């Protein structure tokens, strides 16, 4: 498989067990490292339990991270619109694979690509323990990171959010369905983390890698 570029999300997961409250705090930091990625950016989607977007940064220009709030042991937490992948290149790109690497013992991670962030309407499995071969197309962008184009071909404006220090997309916007006829330059990413009851208190990390190439 030819991989023209890879976007690496380095996820540092902080686990804290409380002796009084059976909760696990997951602070997932996403250090975005690009390799021939060009004009690809990530937009915020779902909000965490503190009312701030799950995709966030500590300040202007700081690295983004994905905050999973609190998860009881032996359960799961899912963001159906964890973040959006947006293409601003002047040509279509294809997401060919999403891999999750170095998952700690006691964790499982699932990743899907979804045009509207509603699993009931169908979604594409990207990672379910093993990476799936993908051919998910994002339409050409316009090089302007203040707009995205939805599934109807309509340009939508995005603006900077001072609380999360990101650019959120409206959750009502539908993105690419992955087909070659798509008119949209973005797709929602659905991420679910499951923690079993054997995980001890401590810090853990794993990596999500998104591979893509020109269409």
User: Domain boundaries in the chain?
Assistant: 5-214
**DSSP string of 159-209?**
--BTTTTB-BPPTT-----BSTT---SEEEEEEEEEE-TTPPSEEEEEEEE
pLDDT higher for 156 or 98? 156
| Residue 107 pLDDT | 87
**Residues 7, 36 contacting (CB under 8 angstroms):** no
| Residue 112 pLDDT | 97
Q: What is the mean pLDDT of residues 37-58?
A: 86
pLDDT higher for 204 or 187? 187
pLDDT interval class at 9 (50, 70, 90): low
Nearest to 54 by CA among 45, 62, 63: 45
Q: Give the strand pairing for 40-44 and 75-87.
A: antiparallel
Residue 137 has pLDDT above 60, yes or no: yes
How far apart CA 110 and CA 119 sit, in angstroms, is 13
**DSSP string of 72-141?**
-TTEEEEEEEEEEEEE-SSS-EEEEEEEEESPPTTEEEEEEEESSS-GGG--EEEESSSBPP--EEE---
Q: What are 34's two structure tokens?
A: 């690009």
| Residue 201 pLDDT | 65
Residue 34 has pLDDT above 60, yes or no: no
Residue 87 has pLDDT above 60, yes or no: yes
């Amino acid at each position: 498989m030819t991989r023209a570029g890879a976007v690496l999300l380095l996820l540092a997961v902080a686990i804290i067990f409380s002796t009084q409250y059976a909760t696990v705090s997951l602070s997932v930091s996403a250090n975005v490292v690009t390799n021939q990625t060009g004009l690809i950016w990530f937009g915020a989607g779902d909000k965490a339990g503190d009312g701030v977007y799950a995709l966030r940064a500590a300040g202007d220009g700081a690295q983004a991270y994905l905050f999973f709030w609190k998860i009881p042991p032996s359960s799961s937490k899912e963001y159906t619109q964890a973040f959006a992948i947006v293409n601003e290149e002047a040509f279509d790109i294809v997401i060919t694979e999403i891999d999750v690497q170095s998952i700690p013992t006691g964790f499982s991670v699932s990743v899907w690509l979804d045009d509207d962030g509603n699993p009931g309407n169908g979604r594409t499995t990207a990672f379910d323990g093993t990476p799936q071969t993908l051919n998910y197309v994002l339409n050409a962008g316009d090089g302007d990171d203040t707009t995205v184009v939805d599934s109807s071909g309509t340009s939508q404006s995005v603006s900077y959010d001072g609380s999360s220090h990101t650019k959120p997309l409206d959750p009502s916007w539908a993105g690419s369905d992955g087909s070659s006829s798509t008119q949209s330059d973005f797709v929602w990413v659905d991420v679910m983390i499951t923690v079993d009851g054997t995980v001890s208190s401590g810090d853990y990390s794993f990596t999500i890698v998104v591979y893509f190439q020109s269409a």
